[in-house]
Amino acid sequence: MNGKPVAVVTGGAGFIGSHMVDALLAAGFAVRVIDNLEGGHRSNLDHLKGNPDLACYWQDVRALDADSPIFAGARYVFHFAGIGDIVPSIEQPTQYMETNVQGTVRVLECARQAAVEKLVYAASSSCYGLASVPTGEEHPINPQYPYALSKYLGEEAAFHWHQVYELPVNSICIFNAYGPRVRTTGVYGAVFGVFFRQKLARMPYTVVGDGTQRRDFVYVTDVAQAFLAAARTPINGERFNVGAGDPRSINRLVELLGGDVVHVPKRPGEPDCTYADITKIVARLGWKPVVSFEEGVRRMLVDIERWRDAPLWDPDRIAEATKTWFRYLGRQSA
Just list the catalytic residues: 147
Closest CA to 152 of 178, 176, 121: 121
**φ and ψ of 289, to 5 deg:** -70, 145
Q: Rounded to an integer, what distance in angstroms lies between the CA atom of residue 180 and that of residue 15?
A: 8
